[in-house]
Structure 1
């Protein structure tokens, strides 16, 4: 049983803790929150000792692995702090703000080669994601894709009321691309590889962050269009195009329904019923590696995830640069 510490007590942390409990591979033992009342409320529901000092959390907390779900701009420093404290690390996506921070995390990992850093890009661990990759390997030609993930944020009403939630500010490395865009960039990189060129056309907010946008990733023989947004909802399906055949997804991030339309007009369901908690697959995969880190298959999987994470981070940064989206973390 892995002893789990958490940084952050928002809804996504709650979902992660519930997935960890459902896996029966983790026990929540330590909770960090800047506010004692918030931490106590979370701990009363889920368990764990509460800490309001991050230094004390890492020094006195009884845990093996920490899940970091703080604002994006804090991820890199907290990941390095965790590694220096001898903790395994799971970081909610995006892992860091830019390639410079990624290099700093890699340096910290090199100094602690017995430890691991996982980016919690949950959907790449799900069976339906792998089913798409398998079908792609059987298609003779790929002619491009249109991948959509637009979901109205629960915080956007606050933004419209004149507030500046962290997820909609450049100060905390927020915006549509860094949040929902991570999913579709992961899709593209995992399924088609690193693009040769990128463009990003945004709808900016008053904070300077992107509320929604359209990205185009260029490959040798096709382009992939990404539609992302946090200030509106889209119900468009996502598609990957062959010649006469097409893969159709209900949603490029949720992947609850995936249908293959063959060239002869027949259809085949590629998807299976997803778990009730979408984080269950990733927490299982992370625990498998952490419980047997020297197993060759586990080592290979971990290195694949880490390499994919680095490429995705670089693509996100290149997209931001094309749109002149600059974070304080970049300077």
Structure 2
């Protein structure tokens, strides 16, 4: 049984804890929040015994084996490093770091301290994402792909009203490409590997200094992958992978709500398989396996580093700079 602590008490933490407990491999033993009462309020429903508002105390807690980190993006790297240096395994929400330099350092520290570092990127572990990847074998040579995730942020109006929500604040290493755009980049790397070149644009550069939306072209030897991401508009279009013999469509690339194959002759086939309503279940299973094996999976490490490299380059091209970049 993996004794789990969580950093952060928002809705995504609740969703991950529910997934982790459902696997039967975890016990939630500790909760950290900057305010003790918030930690207590979150943990009471899980009958947690240990609460912290001091990260040093959490790092030294002997009843914690692994830590799930769901704090603001800019804190992911520093908090993960602190926990790993104390001998804790870490699963950190995507994006795992503000930039590729920090992500590289994090994996170095994981190896030095013989712990598992795992990025909580749920997509590649879900059954329907795996179905989509397998279906690519049936559509001939890939010639073009369009991966899209555009969803009007519930906090965008707060930003327009003059407030400073974390989601649009460069101090927290946030913005569209760091948030939902991550799923587009991550899916492309998982499906096609590292691109030969990257060309990015940000069509909605906000006054706060982050991107509200944008496009990216990832070039591969025989095809391009076009990414569209937005937190200031919504889209109902699926992502599409086009081959010479047909195409694969995926609704909600983040977890694969529906997968369909369309043959060149127009025949349509629904390939969707049943998967858990909580798509974080599958990443929780994968992390548990790596912890129990006391070994990181090289493919996951390579993907995390490549995604961090691409997003760092996208930000360079679009002029998005975070305070964390100079630290």
Q: TM-score, normalised by structure 2?
A: 0.95
Tell me the CA shift for residue 189 of structure 1.
Answer: 0.8
Count of residue pairs brought into register by the alignment: 324
Measure, in 2, the Cα distance between the counterparts of 1:153 and 1:53.
31
Q: In structure 2, what is the equivalent of residue 81 of structure 1?
A: 82
State the alpha-carbon separation in 2 of the partners of residues 254 and 327 from structure 1: 28
Q: Using the alignment, how far apart are the partners of 1:22 and 1:186 within structure 2?
A: 26
Is the 8 Å Cα contact of residues 87 and 115 (structure 2) preserved in structure 1? Answer: yes
Q: Provide the residue aligned with 2:289 in structure 1.
A: 288
Match of 1:317 in 2: 312
Query: 1:273: how far off?
Result: 2.0
In the alignment, is residue 95 of structure 1 matched against residue 96 of structure 2? yes
Q: Give yes or no for the alignment of 1:106 onto 2:107.
A: yes
Tell me the CA shift for residue 71 of structure 1: 0.8
Q: CA deviation at 1:132?
A: 1.6
CA distance in 1, matches of 2:139, 2:262: 11
Q: CA deviation at 1:195?
A: 1.1
The CA deviation at 1:317 is 0.7
Query: Superposition RMSD on alpha carbons, in Å?
Result: 1.4
1:18 aligned counterpart, secondary structure: helix
Q: Distance in 1 between matches of 2:138 and 2:248?
A: 12
Q: Which residue of structure 2 lines up, in the alignment, with residue 257 of structure 1? A: 258
Per-residue CA shift, 1:217-266, capped at 9, x if unaligned? 11122111111111222111111111240111122223111001112332
Gaps of 5+ in 2: none
Paired position in structure 2 for 1:204: 205
- 2:24 aligned partner: 24
Matched residue, 2:193: 193
User: How far apart, CA to CA, are the structure 2 residues paired with 1:84 and 1:122?
Assistant: 25
The equivalent of 1:56 in structure 2 is 57
| Structure 1 consecutive aligned stretches of length 4 or more whose deviation exceeds 3 Å | none
The residue that corresponds to 2:43 in the other structure is: 43
Structure 2 CA distance, aligned partners of 1:323 and 1:68?
Answer: 28
Separation of aligned partners in 1, 2:188 and 2:150: 16
Distance (Å, rounded) in 2 between the aligned partners of 1:129 and 1:137: 14
Structure 1 alignment gaps of length 5 or more: none
Distance 2:195 2:312 in 1: 13
Partner of residue 323, structure 2: 328
Question: In 2, distance between residues paired with 1:104 and 1:116?
Answer: 14
- The equivalent of 2:152 in structure 1 is 152
2:117 alignment partner in structure 1? 117
Q: Secondary structure at the match of 2:306?
A: helix
Q: SS state of the match for residue 246, structure 1?
A: strand
Rounded Cα–Cα distance in structure 1 between residues aligned with 2:193 and 2:162 = 40
Worse-superposed segment, 132-141 or 192-201: 132-141
TM-score of the aligned structures, taking structure 1 as reference length: 0.94
Q: 2: distance between equivalents of 1:154 and 1:107?
A: 37
Hey, what's the Cα distance between the residues in 2 that align with 1:27 and 1:53? 21
Task: Report the Cα offset of residue 61 of structure 1.
Answer: 5.5
Any idea what SS the aligned residue of 2:142 has? coil
- CA separation of 1:244 and 1:137: change in aligned 2, threshold 3 A: closer
User: How far apart are 1:139 and its partner, in Å?
Assistant: 3.4
Contact persistence 2:139–2:245 (CA under 8 A)? no
The worse-fitting range, judged by mean Cα deviation, of 180-189 and 98-107 is 98-107
Residue 60 of structure 2 aligns to a residue whose secondary structure is helix
> Are the counterparts in 2 of residues 30 and 61 from structure 1 also a CA contact under 8 Å?
no
Q: Is the 8 A contact 1:256 1:274 kept in 2?
A: no
- Rounded Cα–Cα distance in structure 2 between residues aligned with 1:137 and 1:189: 17
